Amino acid sequence: MCGIMGYIGPRQALPILLDGLRRLEYRGYDSAGVAVLADGRIETRKAAGKLAVLESAIADRPIAGRAGIGHTRWATHGHPTEANAHPHGDCTGRCVVIHNGIIENYLPLRERLQAAGHRFRSDTDTEVVAHLIEEALEAIPSGRPDRMEAAVREAVRQTRGAYAIVVMSADDPERIVAVRMISPLIVGLGPDETLLASDIPALLPYTRDVLVIGDGEMAVIEAGRVTLADLDGRPVARRPEHITWDAAMAEKGGYPHFMLKEIYEQPRALHETMMGRLDRDDEVTLDGVALPEDLVRRLDKVWVVACGTAFHAGLVGRWLIEHLARVPVEPDLASELRYRDPLIVGRTLAVAISQSGETADTLAAAREARRRGSRVLAVTNVVGSTLAREADDVLFIRAGPEIAVASTKAYTTMLVALQMLAIHLGLRRGTLASARAAALIGALRHLPLQAQQALERSAEVEVLARRWVGAEHAFFIGRGLDYAVAMEGSLKLKEISYLHSEALAAGELKHGTLALVTPQTPVFALATQRTVYEKTISNIQEVRARGAEVIAVAYDDDAEIAKYAQTVLRIPPTDDLLAPVLAILPLQLFAYHVAALRGHDIDQPRNLAKSVTVE
């Protein structure tokens, strides 16, 4: 998620832009830039790396002006370089654009514009907007008062995706135009100045009166004034809000912790992970993945290497790829594979999964697989990360920066990425019928809404957390994909509540662990997999017979489960192969609420780091 800042008013814009961008740094970024308007000209400064690099570039040649826009970029298209940093200009340099989000159809637009003679200077999707505006302006009479708005509307009309766009033109120096399409944009209202930001913390030093730009709306920002309209030009009336949060609360979007913010970001993150990749019912297009036909057709084996939560996602990926692409998959902990002289022979693909793309064990395992002849496909969240740079193919999960140490939205977006990879492989290998693929793609598209529905049930999970906040041990059981989710649910609880928990294949209980089950140990039973449902019920009865209290995770339409489990955490019904994306949600919330009740430092749990870059 990029950082956006805009200012227009009586003061110098530059220091306000830089201060605002600094307050958005927590969102994560890899390059930055500003554009300031003065005397009918726009001066732009950009730099790869942190804000300090940009500031030193500006210190040598300061820029004065009372209107400006600034941006910190979290790369999604194009590496984190100065050329790819925002703002981006049109051919004339008289119009500049900054952007947060994804423009799905930028490639055909770019090709059309280049064919029409437009010269591009970056690899980004954003730059397309600047040239679309330039093209639209040519067709609008220069005397028209709303010429800028009309050109921006025409440009936006041609794009598809989720984004916030901010435009400044030297030909219209008293106004900044902004459009919101899903990605957040907020206006800060001052008596004689107006600000714009992608998040509230950047505005608080200047004003606590804000106006949220709604979805599909355009804002025209002038000094001390803002005008809202929809994309057909119809005026929109909205009352400003007065923000009472302090800066720390504001960074978390009003949530008490980044982890809770990121749990609730999952519906939108899932949507962005799939954006532009599931445009048709009969294919999955994976930008950044170009597996050779011969390898796909004659693939002997897939290896999955990862650590922690990423490894748990890989366990789900194993099921998906084996089931849909009918090729053997061996998931292995990266810290194990790298030292066990693995038999990586024949035509193999190593899928290396890592949110940060910097985990030492995963990097080493991926290098070892490559050394032994495997092609390496990275599933990662960070553009420009070591893993992304070293892999042959990269499937970005587009979860946006994940700040909390406990991984939540990265896990569920990894699952969706692996699901899309499995469908992609199955269709290309001819092992997945198109009707089945279409059904899975339809179910995937439905997941963001279903995730939202599942997260709206947090209150009952909080009640459950109060019930078990004093527990010393907990068990998570499941079969098949439910077992993979049990492992992730157990890790979430352990790493932030410090409550000891253990995940078990439900069929393993009677081989020993049943001796530990007592009325004091809650047993979470994942019960979404219809093919083994009866077996799971038997396992629930086993632990109930020993006095344990069972909390089941099951579909809304499961009419049986309540006969066996004292508590049922419900999720919307979906294809069993997609169930892990929803089943983990109540378990993330349970871990969060127990840790919150225990008063722990949820975002920075003891002894843990967000990225384990050393062995």
Q: Which residues carry out catalysis?
A: 2, 610
Q: How far is the CB of 479 from ligand AGP (least distance, A)?
A: 23
Span interacting with ligand AGP, options 119-127, 227-235, 399-407, 552-560, rule CB under 6 A: 399-407
Using the minimum distance from each CB to ligand AGP, give the nearer residue, 566 or 613: 613
Find the residue with minimal CB distance to ligand AGP.
308
| 308 counts as binding ligand AGP under rule CB under 6 A | yes
Cross-strand bridge partners of residue 219: 178, 228
Site for ligand AGP in 501-560 (CB under 6 A): none
**Three-state DSSP state, 486:** helix
One residue of 305, 333, 405, 422 binding ligand AGP per CB under 6 A: 405
* Token output for 369: 């697989």
Q: How far is the CB of 360 from ligand AGP (least distance, A)?
A: 9
Cross-strand bridge partners of residue 187: 196, 211
Q: How far is the CB of 362 from ligand AGP (least distance, A)?
A: 5
Q: How far is the CB of 203 from ligand AGP (least distance, A)?
A: 31
Alpha-carbon distance of 495 to 405, in angstroms, equals 9
Q: How far is the CB of 592 from ligand AGP (least distance, A)?
A: 12
| 407 counts as binding ligand AGP under rule CB under 6 A | yes
One residue of 309, 386, 490, 529 binding ligand AGP per CB under 6 A: 309
| 386 counts as binding ligand AGP under rule CB under 6 A | no
Helices (H), 396-551: 409-429, 434-455, 458-468, 481-497, 533-545
What 3 state SS string does 358-372 have? CCHHHHHHHHHHHHC
Q: Which of the 8 DSSP states describes residue 235? A: B
Closest-CA residue to 588 (of 305, 257, 272): 257
One residue of 310, 391, 394, 440 binding ligand AGP per CB under 6 A: 310
Query: What track of x and - describes contact with ligand AGP for positions 351 through 370 (by CB under 6 A)?
Result: ---xxx--x--x--------
Q: How far is the CB of 279 from ligand AGP (least distance, A)?
A: 28
Closest-CA residue to 48 (of 517, 384, 320): 384
226 near 211, Cβ under 8 Å? yes
Span interacting with ligand AGP, options 51-59, 180-188, 306-314, 423-431, rule CB under 6 A: 306-314
Using the minimum distance from each CB to ligand AGP, give the nearer residue, 307 or 349: 307
Alpha-carbon distance of 146 to 49, in angstroms, equals 37
One residue of 21, 177, 307, 503 binding ligand AGP per CB under 6 A: 307
Number of H helices, E strands in the chain: 19, 24
| 611 counts as binding ligand AGP under rule CB under 6 A | yes
356 near 410, Cβ under 8 Å? no
Alpha-carbon distance of 212 to 188, in angstroms, equals 9
Using the minimum distance from each CB to ligand AGP, give the nearer residue, 116 or 614: 614
- CA dist list (Å): 285 to 269, 379, 421, 424: 18, 15, 9, 7
- CA dist list (Å): 403 to 26, 162, 336, 356, 603: 8, 22, 27, 11, 8
Alpha-carbon distance of 206 to 224, in angstroms, equals 12
Query: What track of x and - describes contact with ligand AGP for positions 478 through 497 (by CB under 6 A)?
Result: -----------------x--
Q: How far is the CB of 317 from ligand AGP (least distance, A)?
A: 13
| 585 counts as binding ligand AGP under rule CB under 6 A | no
One residue of 152, 263, 269, 406 binding ligand AGP per CB under 6 A: 406
Alpha-carbon distance of 580 to 484, in angstroms, equals 8
Q: Please report where in the chains the tokens 């039973």 appear, as a residue.
A: 525
| 72 counts as binding ligand AGP under rule CB under 6 A | no
Using the minimum distance from each CB to ligand AGP, give the nearer residue, 381 or 521: 381
Q: How far is the CB of 399 from ligand AGP (least distance, A)?
A: 11
Closest-CA residue to 437 (of 316, 297, 576, 282): 282
Using the minimum distance from each CB to ligand AGP, give the nearer residue, 407 or 529: 407
476 near 468, Cβ under 8 Å? no
Using the minimum distance from each CB to ligand AGP, give the nearer residue, 363 or 437: 363
# residues near ligand AGP by CB under 6 A: 15
| 377 counts as binding ligand AGP under rule CB under 6 A | no
- Residues at the contact surface with ligand AGP, assessed by CB under 6 A: 307-310, 354-356, 359, 362, 405-407, 495, 611-612
